[in-house]
Amino acid sequence: MTSYVLKRLLYGMLTLLVLATVVFFLMKSIPGSPFELEDKIFPQEYIDNLNAKYGLDQPIYVQYFNYMKNALTGNFDNSMVMTGMSVTYIIGRSFPASLKLGLCAFFFSLIVGVALGTAGALSKSKKFNYVISVITSLGISVPNFFVAMLLMILLGVKIPVLPIVGLKTPLHYILPTLALSFNPISMICRLTRNSLRDVLSQDYIVLARSKGTSERRIVLKHCLKNAFLPVLTYSGPQFSALITGSFVIESLFSIPGIGYEFVSSVSGRDYTLIMGLAVFLGVIVILINLLTDILSAILSPQIKLEK
């Protein structure tokens, strides 16, 4: 198990290296620079000075090695656009909002999705399962900004019962959480239902029944653990996606989160901030993937017992 974790950790670091490289070259391939924006016209010497200060006048491979060195040591320069603000400061300012909202959305999705999926798999009612299928199909195909706008219009404007700007009070979390959750709830519900149905039709369930095991115990003891694996495999990446912020939802609800920050850093060609955020988000995603793999291993004895 330990060597398994170490191996995954090594892969994670390699992935991070590749990610940072790809981000660097992608970033460089977008035309424009942090100091040449349409509305801000600076004198040429001023721009040259700034380029020199941030090393942008160096050949591209030198810039690459500098960036990689900074990325790997976690030592990022200040933002190129927001003068005087360090990348760490910007992350510290924007990440908590995204994290809190993401956690709400994730756990809400997981609980509702697993509960609905389990109910669907155990229910013999065709109607109930039909309703679930229709709702989850919608949830999977409708984009979340549409859900968000619908919710805002219905519950924020037409019948103004819930706030739609910012994240000041717990009430503020409800609408963005719902908007973020509809899709993952649908996915988790379907995964749970299908995989639980699949497990229920396995031979070992027949053997468990032949021992006189109660239906309740069959579900709790024999099914859930096995049925949860596909759900876990999906939930890990979904968890990272949710806590790393959604630009669309954060913009719609005016939440100063990291998703919003990331997109504005790209449109502002804020190279240091882009690299910093990319590496930060990359580390989160990789760590959570690792955690997911470890959890899956714990759930399945075959992996757990491998040396």
**Which among 122, 93, 128 is positioned nearest to 257, based on CA atoms?**
93
The residue ranges that bind another protein (CB under 8 A) are: 201-204, 206-215, 221-222, 225-226, 299-302, 305
Which CB atom, from 29 or from 210, has the smaller least distance to another protein? Answer: 210
Question: What does the block give as tokens for 146?
Answer: 């549409």
Min separation Cβ 214 and another protein, Å: 6
Beta carbon nearer to another protein, 146 or 204: 204
Shortest Cβ 231–another protein spacing (Å):
15
- The least distance separating another protein from the CB of residue 221, rounded to whole angstroms, comes to 8
Q: Report in angstroms how near the CB of residue 186 gets to another protein at its nearest.
A: 25
Pick the closer one to another protein by CB: 75 or 300: 300
Q: How far is CA 253 from CA 3, 91, 192, 264, in A?
A: 44, 19, 31, 16
**Structure tokens of 28?**
């460089």
Of 154 and 218, which CB lies nearer to another protein in the complex structure? Answer: 218
Going by C-alpha positions, the residue among 57, 113, 89, 136 that lies closest to residue 231 is 113
* Three-state DSSP class for residue 35: coil
| End-to-end CA separation in angstroms for the chain | 6
Toward another protein, which CB reaches closer, 47 or 208? 208
Residue 141 CA: distances (Å) to CA of 110, 240, 241, 280 = 19, 21, 17, 30
Q: Cβ of residue 222: shortest distance to another protein, in angstroms? A: 6
